[in-house]
Amino acid sequence: MTPGPLAGIRVLEVGHILAGPFATMLLADLGAEVTKLEPPGGDLSRQVGDAYFASLNRNKRSIRLDLTTEQGREKLAELATDAHALLVNLKPSVIRRLGLTYDSLRRFNERLVCVALTGYGLEGGDDPAFDYIIQAATGVAALTGDPDGPPTLPGYSSVDNSAGLTAALGLLAQIVSGRGGQVDIALRDVMLAQLNYRAAAYLNDGVEPRRMAHGAHSYYVPAQLFPTADGHLALFVTHDGFWKIFAAEAGIDGFPTMAERAARRDEVLAVVTRALAADTARGWEARLRPLGVAAAAVRTLHEALEATPEMIVRAGEFRLVAGPVRVVGYEPAHRPPPRLGEHGSLVVDGD
């Protein structure tokens, strides 16, 4: 079997639940050797459920380690000596108290990359920073939902997953530099960065973002969800060429330019809504996709997974969604998640 692109890279992980474990699982899928350093009771996600834990921790090793003891800290130093990186997602005060920063560990390994994944940064304090809290604090929730409804949260952990991806990128970037050092990733900063063009419109032109009905795009028209004869259709028309093709298929006349469609948004949406009522969401998808028009029927998770069997992998007894990075010629082994302390334990009996 072809080794993964990260074969030979050794990563230590200290953390709980989602953001940090997701980051290191992506690295493990690509061939890195990832070792979870778990407290006596284990990663808190073990308490959520076996499938939940498996979804974030396949392909890893587990060492049960009490970092509050001298023995635990000595073992950490030993492991750090031979590691390329340490990724931690805990409160800043806990990260410092347990000696999980580059300043604390550099004497054991100058080239060690230490990644701190926190709510507001290593200097940002210990205020609670769960996914939903960050969505509320950064304007994401306020931007989501219909104009006449309340702010809305997406149906998955968008902050934690985005922060995990960012942390994996920061970790690899510093490894590639050939230098050790501290990488500081804040959940708040990750989400503000993802508001790129919305933030730029406000910062440069004073344009206050507003919620649009049916998730409509602020620039493109039509680009939103539409009801059909059966189900909803996501339609995304980004330029005049696509509009011409869509309009011909839907039997719509007029509105040839993006400027006109934007200026007459309500008229365009009314005409498109009437036209789309003539067929089902799946029917429109089948008609428009071969023409190059971006359109998709709104599917449930069950339907989406059934439509993409190639994205389902087996890790021991668990069926899981595969990682998003595909490297030609390399196929991850997808080992099951480790048992607590499966690869070693330095915890006093009874803890």
Active site residues: 160
Query: Dihedral of CA 170/175/178/182: which sign?
Result: positive
Angle 178-182-184 from CA coordinates, rounded to 5°: 125
8 Å CB contact between 42 and 48: no
Angle 24-337-176 from CA coordinates, rounded to 5°: 20
- The total of other beta-carbon atoms located within 10 Å of residue 187's CB is 30
**Helix, strand or coil, per DSSP, at residue 279:** coil
Single-letter code of the amino acid located at 213: A
Query: Rg of the Cα trace of the chain?
Result: 24
- Euclidean distance between CA atoms 76 and 80, whole angstroms: 6
Single-letter code of the amino acid located at 287: R
- Euclidean distance between CA atoms 95 and 124, whole angstroms: 13
8 Å CB contact between 277 and 215: no
8 Å CB contact between 235 and 294: yes
**DSSP code at position 289:** G
Bridge partner residues of 184 (DSSP): 116
> Element (H or E) spanning 62, and its range?
strand 60-65
